Amino acid sequence: MRVRSPIGDLPFTVTGVGREGGELVVHGELGAWRSQVRMSAADLPMLARAMRGPLLVAGAAGVVVLVARAIR
């Protein structure tokens, strides 16, 4: 994975994934720095908004497949 930032394009290497409390924690290394990405249930609405386009396309494709199978 890569993280683009104002200081440059840095590699992010995942070293582990776990749960701490109610959060999903991705441990890794961002360039030379040990880093963590923490996600909780409160982050789900933001993630859903960010993924809205791809989810709509996948849903529409699924409907097309189901209709095509029903017509056969």
CB 10 within 8 A of CB 3: yes
Do 32 and 53 fall within a single domain? no
DSSP secondary structure letter of residue 66: H
Report the predicted TM-score, pTM, of the whole model to 2 decimal places: 0.64
The mean per-residue pLDDT over the stretch 1-7 comes to: 88
Q: Tell me how many domains the chain contains.
A: 2
32 three-class SS: coil
Q: Are residues 7 and 29 in the same domain?
A: yes
2 and 23 housed in the same domain = yes
The closest of 21, 46, 26 to 36, measured between CA atoms, is 26
Confidence of residue 28 (pLDDT cuts 50, 70, 90): very high
pLDDT at 48: 86
Range of 2's domain?
Answer: 1-39
17 and 47 inside one domain: no
Q: Say if residue 26 is in the same domain as residue 48.
A: no
Mean pLDDT calculated for residue range 8-17 = 93
Residue 13 sits in the same domain as residue 27: yes
